A and B are shown apart, each in its own frame.
Chain A
């Protein structure tokens, strides 16, 4: 079909513009997921392991925030970063950094909530042993994070999926500027508005292929590492 032909020729031709768009998509999403992992994973683990008042409320909030509407987050970050907003002096609006900030906010709850669940389940298994060893809470957290790393990878991949597929927030804070803030999803929106439906779908297939490759790579790494362990 026409569309698939378009997609394949897009991939084969791989012109500079497309490479730049794909590169920026990956860069923005990877950095956002990385920062979100560094914040969300300890947050999720701490919520699972420490007992403190309001813990259950936090769990519910984290779970609910997994469904944060990207447009709302985009708008919020836009208002904060606008020259007329509180962080306007930084001049970050319409830059990849602004997109990273918005996506980080979107991804943190996903990684935190999923990590909390994973660590919670692991704790049931490890509790007796860790308590009898007299491990400190920090020690417990590190052990569980390490032993659960392959399951936690799924949480990270879920966050990455959200980041690459999201269009509402990056459109508002990035502005879809050619050669500066244009990513896969915003260029798909642009081609749709130009009535280039085939090209838009072609770009969509490229995006899906990319995300499939990344997930496949993660899966293979996980398999290899698990086999080595056994």
Chain B
């Protein structure tokens, strides 16, 4: 019988030890925010959300993925609030009954980055569609997100506006990474290619090597973010009251100034949208 005893001790002690160790899960009230990598990778959310938590006592758990995936997460009811940047799909999210209402919350802009050598000679151009045309004509390497994100959708619309069909060039000069903004920028800097990036992620990005901003300021590069409460009528478990509080705070004076005050090396990354006309950073 001592053997059985030994057996039990050997195999069950770890179980008892593990189960009696306190779990790290916190019991405080929290909501889940589905958002885009740009809001997290820049550090914006970790800078402003603690202010909201301090005032409201509500913790915000951020799941940061591409806009397309964030919307899917919200549609499945796996998040309480959605903060993304693709106006068209945000509006259909609301009109299809998945969301309650969309609020403008902030904006920044996209920039075209590329190698300092600039083989397609787009530096300083003002028209982004023409610049994309030159990249395509020159068959210069272009790194696309290829992940259905807000940035990816914006990029598609720019190719489309110039009548360029990138599907034929896929795998050739047009390379779809299927990854987040940062990963795509890492590849662009390794391959000396062009890419479209949101200014926030670009400013916060640390592995630029020979990349720099080549084109900015075209009004078509404006990047507005919207915030939407997931519809509790469709998903009754949604923490509607707490989610509403977050939205109210984001569009309040305090929230808006917190967004505008967020800077990286002295540069403002996002502008609050409330009572401000949508303007380009420069």
**Which residues in A have some Cβ–Cβ distance to B below 8 Å?**
20, 23-24, 27, 30-31, 34, 37-38, 41, 82-85, 88, 91, 93-96, 142-143, 145-146, 149, 175-181, 190, 192-197
Contacts and interface: CB of A to CB of B under 8 A. Distances in A.
Of the candidates B4, B26, B75, B77, the one having the most CB atoms from chain A within 10 angstroms of its own CB is: B77
7 contacts: A41-B11, A83-B77, A84-B75, A85-B76, A96-B25, A195-B182, A196-B206
Contacts, number: 99
A84 B237 contact: no
Contacts of A91: 237
B235 interface: yes
Contacts of A192: 182-183, 186
Contact of A82 (B10, B24, B78): B78
Contacts of B62: 177-178
Contact of A38 (B15, B25, B32): B15
Nearest to A175: B63
Interface string B202-234: 001111100000000000000000000000000
A78 B25 CA distance: 19
B275 interface: no
A44 to B, nearest CB: 14
Of the candidates B23, B61, B75, B205, the one having the most CB atoms from chain A within 10 angstroms of its own CB is: B61
A30 B41 CA distance: 29
A194 B182 contact: yes
Contacts of A30: 14, 18
Closest 8 CB pairs of A and B: A193-B182, A195-B207, A83-B77, A175-B63, A195-B206, A84-B76, A195-B205, A177-B61
Contacts of B32: 94, 177
Interface string B20-60: 01011110001010000100110000100000000000010
B25 A95 contact: yes
B167 interface: no
A153 to B, nearest CB: 10
Interface string B57-73: 00101111000000000
Given A84-B76, A195-B207, A180 B61 contact: yes
B180 interface: yes
Nearest to B181: A193
Nearest to B182: A193
Contact of A24 (B4, B24, B77): B24
B195 to A, nearest CB: 13
B63 A193 contact: no
Contacts of B6: 146
A95 B23 CA distance: 12
Nearest to B186: A195
Contacts of B75: 84
A159 B208 CA distance: 38
A83 B204 contact: no
A194 B63 contact: no
A38 B7 contact: no
Given A31-B18, A94-B63, A181-B61, 18 more contacts: A34-B15, A82-B76, A82-B78, A83-B76, A83-B237, A94-B61, A96-B23, A96-B24, A96-B25, A145-B7, A180-B26, A180-B30, A192-B183, A193-B179, A193-B181, A194-B182, A197-B186, A197-B207
B185 interface: yes
Contacts of B186: 192-193, 195, 197
